[in-house]
Amino acid sequence: MNAKSLHTKIIKEEAYRLGFSSVGIAKADFLSEEAFGLEKWLKKGYHGQMSYLKNHFDKRLDPRLLVENAKSVISLSFNYYPEKEQVENTYKFARYAYGKDYHKVLKKKGKSLIRFIQDKIAEVNMRFFVDSAPIMERAWAVKSGLGWIGKNGLLLQRKAGSYFFLAELIIDLELEYDNSFRTNHCGQCTKCIDACPTQAILKNGVLDASKCISYLTIELKESIPETFKNQYEEWVFGCDICQEVCPWNSFSLPHKEVNFEVSNQLLSNTKNDWENLTQIEFQNIFKDSAVKRTTFKGLKRNIDFLKPENFLK
């Protein structure tokens, strides 16, 4: 086995040992095919008030601008599908936010992977990213052979659905590259498009993020437009509707990550509990959670928007 093959083998083995669900590697290069689509998407204003998505346009398309002399992009997925669900008839949180903040959990694992490479291979230049840099992570996941991009804009895998996080390790090391994933297995299915209550998933498979419930409950900092009254279900942080109806998620299996275990209070709280939530309770329930991103004030805004008495206004 030559050095490139050996390095590839041990890196993938260590990533799996750390708990990552799938690992693929692509050559670090300019994303020429994605450039036009990204520019068009931004010009259409589908990013809403997420102005940061317009920043660092070139870096989003070329990982070599993020890591000098980058040779490889290692794409990784990490399962977060929960074993337990919230009670019925309550305000809902996206499943990815059930446990501890995934940024912190996966970055810790990324640091471990970096130390492993430094110890076993060499002190090469590399950086680990988890939803925290201008990287077109789904495009790189496809190029690394991890899956295909579904009509809802999420990466899909035949044996795992879409309930997983993505992360990337951009590294100045030549490795063996996996074949790009060429087949889209969505076929004629339009379940995600049909189920989206705000019509954020367009017919051509493009996501208008400015209409997405996840955007409205997390990214939007001002009042939620009245036009969305009665248009979406009881989601107060994120949304899983397009994932819930996706046939490929019938293959999702519960994760085994202790840091993603959900608190009993989040699972059992009723609508009345959430409507009467105090700031202290918010801090206790979401101490290490990604939900803190929306702040107590933001969560209360989302809940107030969905209160039954407000539907008559």
Residue 194 backbone phi and psi in degrees, to 5: -65, -35
At CA 154, angle to CA 302 and CA 151, rounded to 5? 105
**CA-to-CA separations, 62 to 90, 110, 124, in angstroms, rounded:** 43, 21, 19
CA distance 197 to 211: 10
Q: What token pair was written down for 171?
A: 């590294």
Residues 6+ positions from 164 with CB-CB distance below 8 Å: 21, 22, 77, 78, 79, 80, 81, 155, 157
CA distance 285 to 261: 12
**Numbers of helices and strands, H then E, in the chain:** 12, 8
Say whether 240 is catalytic.
Answer: no
Q: What token pair was written down for 253?
A: 């299996």
29, 131, 172, 273: the active-site residue = 131
CA distance 125 to 169: 10
**CA-to-CA separations, 83 to 46, 80, 161, 209, 258, in angstroms, rounded:** 34, 9, 15, 28, 12
Residues 6+ positions from 283 with CB-CB distance below 8 Å: 296
Say if CB 233 and CB 92 are below 8 A apart: yes
| Burial readout 204-213 (b: 16 or more C-beta within 10 A, e: otherwise) | ebbbbbbbbb
Active site members? 131
